[in-house]
Amino acid sequence: MTPILSRWLPGACVWLHAEHRQKALYLLILLLPLPAAIYCIGLGRYAIPTEDVVRALLDFALGRHDASAGPDIVYNLVTRVRLPRIAAAMFIGANLAVTGATFQGIFRNPLVDSNILGVTSGAGFGAALMLLLVGDPLEVQLAAFFVGLVAVLLAYSVSRLYHSAPLLVLTLVGILVGSFFSSLTSLLKYVADPLDTLPAITYWLMGGLTDVTLGDIPALAAISLLGMVVLWGVRWRLNVLSMGDNEALALGLNPTRLKLLIIVCSTLMTAMAVSVGGVIGWVGLVIPHAARTLVGPDHQRLIPATMALGAVFLLLIDTMSRTLLPAEVPLGVFTGVVGVPLLLVILRVNRTGWR
Amino acid sequence: MTLLEARSVSYSYIAQQAVLSDVSLAVPDQSVIYLLGHNGCGKTTLLEILSGIRPPQAGSVRLNGHDLYHISSARRAQRVGLVPQMHLPVFAYTVRDVVMMGRTPHLRLFGTPGARDRAIVDAAIEQVGLAALRDRPYTGLSGGERQLTLIARGLAQQTEVLLLDEPTAHLDPRNQHRVLETVSQLAGQNVSFVISSHNPNSALLYAHHVVVMKAGRIVADGRPAEVLTEPVLSTAYEMPVEVIYNEKNAARAIMPRRTNGA
């Protein structure tokens, strides 16, 4: 099998052997987030040249900015306004994409995404409840995070009551729990004040990074990086898990324990992503398919490639949402508008990666 | 010396409907044991129990005298391997990826296959004659090629006991010969095989020991010449079977006897 991008490489790379071309592409995908981030930081209503962006980022990273020299618009805009937002977009994109790929692997189903166990619906309900009752952004975030975890815990615990076809039952119960929390969210919207709270809930559920500050980044980064390290660590085992529980057992794995570890990590990552960025659909479905088309189905490459592509995808979507129109468009709108045609193209061009 | 042993093993998927009843089986080192019997007689369940993935509801399984189900799953899979009946995974892994999965029990917790694993895998692929298909998607192969891939995965696992569930069911005669000759060769190199099969003729050619099952019980157990007889096989398969002997009175072929017409 030759994943599609090895055939799309520019003519300059024709001299490379197919295997080396594939490796070069993989490396390119892994490196893509850095230049993409630097480029996107410069975009916006106040455009900043790339060299100024790089200088501001280096000053920030090395702690050599001289605050006593007076206000530096470029430095402040880069580090305090755009960097937090771009970092959040990239962490959230990477989280949603890699958890989607992971769930597709362990559920042996290319149609599932990060919300298969109801975490996003649970988080949405938690956020809506706090917006209705309190309205404080920190409490909204915390409620979204914890209710997201509760939704998955509920799905997992209920599924354990049934002894036949555990994977199928877990999928079904996850869908049911997600629908249950979506219904509760609809109930909250129904009783919410239509002039004040209802728009707030609706906008939150459409996703967005407008209110992200530098203070949101440490927790998001910590949970994202921790989860990514674990999922990267089990990348080989995901291949074996995707062959089914009996095969995994026969090959010396403990599928129940391993899947629990993966579900816990993925849930924490998704709940964190949703609590900061709201409900952002499609990333967890589209990006794993795009990555599989580019690097093949082997999770050893798929997991890192999905993280990188998810980060770049949401970064570009967020940049579009804040630059294309005079008013900012919610993220969840653009991920669907861009993601659905992209998925259709992937399916049309190449189905490599799943049978 | 007995490597793997099932002692009075019983199992049922539905209460009161035993798939295995009081089955005992010993696997000595360097042996090829054939399990014969009609569909649904419990061969696959017995192999799963012997492999350590399905704990028996009664009885025990011992590996070198230790309870198989008290050994860590990775250590168990380093010593006992199971090649399942053919299946189709969701994702289009290459043949090499699938065979590489056989190295999983030898990897550390967060480990990935290294150069030595790749060499072992390439040798296993070569051994079953799939070198030309190494980078092809497993899901795009024919049934026989997929079966050979799974057998190569079992070989790459490098266990002392390899349990093969109907390994030649989808293979043409040439590939059947290739696989069973490989089995025979490895049996001389400290690997024991338990093979479930619907082909008594290959048991005649390759088995050191034959076990015939019927409705979850062992009805005959012994050397091929003792077990592969018309009364035993006719009873086990519930149909008339003819054993053809050569001039030295050794069984050469086993054929069904027609009951309608000629």
Q: Report the gap between the CA of B143 and the closest CA in chain A (Å).
A: 15
- Residue pLDDT, tens place only, B56-85: 999 999 999 999 999 999 999 999 999 998
Q: Which two tokens stand for residue A16?
A: 């490379």
Q: Which residues of B touch A254 (CB under 8 A)?
A: 73
**Euclidean distance between CA atoms A87 and A95, whole angstroms:** 12
Q: Which residues of A touch B118 (CB under 8 A)?
A: none
Size of interface A-B (CB pairs under 8 A): 91
Question: A7 falls in which pLDDT band (50, 70, 90)?
Answer: low
Please check whether residue A208 is in contact with residue A215, taking contact to mean a CB–CB distance below 8 angstroms: no
Nearest by CB to B94, from A1, A244, A250: name it.
A1
Nearest by CB to B139, from A235, A244, A355: name it.
A355
Q: Which two tokens stand for residue A316?
A: 């570009």
pLDDT of residue A128: 95
Domain boundaries, chain A: 51-349
Q: Report the gap between the CA of A349 and the closest CA in chain B (Å).
A: 16
Q: Is the ipTM of this complex over 0.85?
A: yes
- Which chain B residue shows the shortest CA-CA distance from A241? B101
Question: A350 falls in which pLDDT band (50, 70, 90)?
Answer: low
Nearest by CB to A354, from B92, B104, B109: name it.
B92
Q: Which residues of A touch B82 (CB under 8 A)?
A: 250
- Residue pLDDT, tens place only, B134-161: 999 999 998 889 989 999 999 999 999 9
Most confident of A270-284, A341-355, B165-179: A270-284
Q: Which residues of B touch A17 (CB under 8 A)?
A: none
Please check whether residue A185 is in contact with residue A121, taking contact to mean a CB–CB distance below 8 angstroms: yes
- Residue B133's SS3 state is helix
**Euclidean distance between CA atoms A299 and A238, whole angstroms:** 6
Q: Helices then strands (H, E): number in chain B?
A: 9, 12
The whole-angstrom distance between residue A98's C-alpha and the CA centroid of its chain comes to 7
Q: Which residues of A touch B74 (CB under 8 A)?
A: 252-253
**Euclidean distance between CA atoms B212 and B226, whole angstroms:** 11
**Euclidean distance between CA atoms A16 and A23, whole angstroms:** 10
Interchain proximity A243–B89, CB inside 8 Å = yes
Q: H helices of chain B, where? A: 43-51, 73-79, 95-100, 115-127, 143-156, 173-187, 200-206, 224-227, 230-237
**Euclidean distance between CA atoms A113 and B86, whole angstroms:** 28
Nearest by CB to B82, from A244, A250, A253: name it.
A250
pLDDT of residue A40: 96
Query: Taking residues B211-231, what's their average pLDDT?
Result: 94
Q: Which two tokens stand for residue A84?
A: 């937090």
Q: Which residues of A touch B78 (CB under 8 A)?
A: 252
Beta pairing partners, B81: B162
Beta pairing partners, A255: none
Q: What is the pTM of this model?
A: 0.90
**Euclidean distance between CA atoms B135 and A254, whole angstroms:** 28
pLDDT of residue B86: 75
**Euclidean distance between CA atoms A292 and A301, whole angstroms:** 9
Interchain proximity B89–A254, CB inside 8 Å = no
- Which chain A residue shows the shortest CA-CA distance from B163? A250
- Residue A46's SS3 state is coil
Interchain proximity B77–A250, CB inside 8 Å = yes
Q: Which helix (H) or strand (E) holds B196?
A: strand B192-197
Name the fold adopted by A51-349. ABC transporter involved in vitamin B12 uptake, BtuC (1.10.3470)
